Amino acid sequence: MSIFTKVKKAIGWEIRTAKPQYDLNPLIYSQLKPLRLPLILIQIVMMIGTLGYVYLEDYSIMHAIFQSAYTLTNTGFGALNESNFRNETIVFTVCLMLSGFASLIFAVGIVIDVIANGPLRELLKERKMLYKIARLRRHFVICYHNEYTAQLARQFRENHIPFVVVDPSDQIEQIAKENNYPYFVKEEPYKEIAFLKSHLSSAKGAISLSKNISDNITLIASVRLYEKELGRNPFLIISNAETQNEKIRLKKLGADKVVATPALMAKRVSAMAIRPDMENVLDEFLYKRDTPIDMEEVFVNEDSWVVNKEIKDLHLRDRLKVSIIGITEDKGKFIQMPKGATPINANCKLLLVGSQKGILRAKKIINLTNKPEDV
């Protein structure tokens, strides 16, 4: 890697110059095609005027171009030799003025029609949005707008998680303004054009929150097929379901996580009823922005240095104020509140509790191949 490339990467030029995967320029150029006729017409009249003044008044090329330009546009008179024009030149000049006035009026009319009645403005706004989306990395693509999407978007904004909302509604721009969606795409979410516009290839995953299970099924299948075409690591796909049966179906079809909304609400209400003093624990410590306590699961790779080590050998509690409160073994067995002498096996998941900063550092340590010197 050259020094110039390293400097560009360090100051973020590579991100700022990212291009959308879907190019709108051909559509924009097609909208500008009607402008070619008036431009060609003006140039033809300009050339006729220039040649006419060269022939009739023996002007130099530069003087003839200048005379034709301000005569054609009706912006001035008297800068050159107009007071000595012959009758033939006067008639020619009058015709040139009228031709210029007619050409300009014709051109202005076409420009107004293209801008006012065509989709040019919308295409330019969409292209600007696609360039912004192209800068995103590790974002989520949220499909279908509804009250779930609005609430999820609010949580993502508070936690600085980038996301793009994809919805086929003609009112998506107004919806985005009302719900503060920073990035949005007006397309059917399951189509490849939506994947390209939302830059799904660089996303962390897709979230389908339609109340219609058919939409969720179609979206999950389409994302998995697109994933195979890209040959990349699996997307994280999260969906919602109205019943437990729908939840099972969506997981079988390829969803990583499925939230059954009625069941989730019932569990929360039950917890409030049984332990009313604990009802705000999740809001205060897990869902709140900049919370002092966070919880996250960390996967242990086979080549990690912590494999076959005991929990106490990691010194996470002493160094980072992070505790391992659960271990999910490779075969699915869950060990709650493991002791310090509990061994860590490959392909297990460690449930960590601590500050966000502490958990982030703990994840880096656990994912190392060689044991850090300071442990």
User: At what angle are helices 36-57 and 87-117 packed, to 10 degrees?
Assistant: 170
Q: Which helix (H) or strand (E) holds 48?
A: helix 36-57
User: Both tokens of residue 81?
Assistant: 């030799």
CATH class of the structural domain 292-366: alpha beta
- For residue 36, CA distances in Å to 30, 178, 230, 253, 315 come to 11, 39, 40, 52, 72
Asked if CATH classification 3.40.50.1110 holds for the domain at 33-117, the reply, yes or no, is: no
- pTM (predicted TM-score): 0.65
Tell me, what's the pLDDT at 120? 80
Q: What is the CA radius of gyration of the chain?
A: 33
- Whether residue 206 contacts residue 235, with contact meaning beta carbons closer than 8 Å, is answered with yes
Residue with tokens 């999820």: 152
Report the alpha-carbon distance of residue 269 to residue 187 in Å, rounded: 37
Tell the CATH topology of 136-266: Rossmann fold (3.40.50)
Residue of 114, 123, 125 lying closest to 38 (CA atoms) = 114
- Can you give the pLDDT at residue 284? 54
Distance CA(255)–CA(313), nearest Å, equals 36
Contact between residue 217 and residue 240 where contact means Cβ atoms under 8 Å apart: no
- How far apart are the C-alpha atoms of 348 and 196, rounded to whole Å? 35
Tokens of 195: 């994947």
Confidence (pLDDT) at 331 = 81
CB 80 within 8 A of CB 66: yes
Burial of 345 (0-12, 13-18, 19+ CB in 10 A): middle
Buried b (16+ CB within 10 A) or exposed e, 73-82: eeeeeeebee
Please give the structure tokens belonging to residue 174: 């107004």
Over residues 221-269, the pLDDT tens digits come to: 999 999 999 988 899 999 998 888 888 889 888 899 988 876 666 666 6
pLDDT at 15: 43
Sign for the pseudo-dihedral over CA of 49, 51, 54, 60: positive
Q: Where are the domains of the chain?
A: 33-117, 136-266, 292-366
Q: How many residues does the chain have?
A: 375
DSSP code of 300? -
* pLDDT by residue, tens only, the chain of 375 residues: 555 555 455 444 444 457 888 888 888 888 888 888 888 888 898 999 899 889 888 888 998 888 888 888 777 666 677 777 888 888 888 888 888 888 888 888 888 887 777 778 888 889 999 999 999 999 999 999 999 899 999 989 988 899 999 999 999 999 999 999 999 999 999 999 999 999 999 999 999 989 888 999 999 999 999 999 998 889 999 999 888 888 888 988 889 998 887 666 666 666 566 666 655 555 555 555 555 677 788 999 889 999 988 998 888 888 888 989 899 998 888 888 898 899 999 889 999 988 888 888 888 889 888 888 776
Contact yes or no for 198/143 (Cβ under 8 A): no
CA distance 349 to 367: 12
φ, ψ at 123 (rounded to 5°): -65, -40
How does pLDDT run across 320-331, given as a tens digit for each residue? 889 898 999 988
Question: Is residue 255 a contact partner of residue 224, using CB atoms and an 8 Å limit?
Answer: no
- Strand pairing category for 323-328 and 334-336: antiparallel
